[in-house]
Amino acid sequence: MIFEELKRDTVYQGRAFGVQLVRMRLPGDRLRDYDLVRHNPSVTVVPLDDKGRLLFVRQFRLGAGGDLLELPAGVMETGEEPLDCAAREIREETGFSAGKLELLGDFFLAPGYCDEHMYVFLATGLLPDPLEQDEDEFLEIEAIPAAEALKLARENHIQDSKTLASLLLALPWLNQSRG
């Protein structure tokens, strides 16, 4: 099948994302307009301490209308590499730095309407090393044993998609830390 982009116009540009109207030619020569949310790439960090616990953050999320339990995550600054972003975000959100950051995988968050691409890192060798949090972040840190975190995910107590996908990617390491 051949899809051809014909035109792209920015209709909104905010601090966190932009929206473009994209005119596409579809198979059968049909035309269709799509809304595309433009968003910088991002990272999620799976911080695993030496006691086999994961460090989560609990924070208010407007789209969910309340608090969510999430793994630390953040948006890459323009020109920033995923590894550098992961190293910064874990320090900002948990107050720990990682002795080792290992890329576990990457994925698109909502490719039907958004181009945000997320990289997932396992963080081990955690040491206290805080950075100041962003001014709009009000985070509570929760250290949860890996087995309990996976149970929370299975029982629908974790409803953040990036956290669920990241836990899946980290499963081999989490199972090792439990054994």
Token duo for residue 174: 């989490």
Q: Are 172 and 104 in contact (CB under 8 A)?
A: no
What are the two backbone dihedrals, phi and then psi, of residue 30, each rounded to the nearest 5 degrees?
A: -80, 150
Residue 113 backbone zone (phi > 0: left; psi -120 to 50: alpha; other: beta): alpha
One-letter identity of residue 73: A
- In the set 5, 89, 135, 137, the catalytic residue is 135
Report the distance separating Cα 55 and Cα 32, nearest Å: 44
Report the distance separating Cα 26 and Cα 24, nearest Å: 6
Strand-strand pairing, 42-47 and 53-61:
unpaired
Query: Catalytic site residue 5?
Result: no
Active site positions, annotated:
135
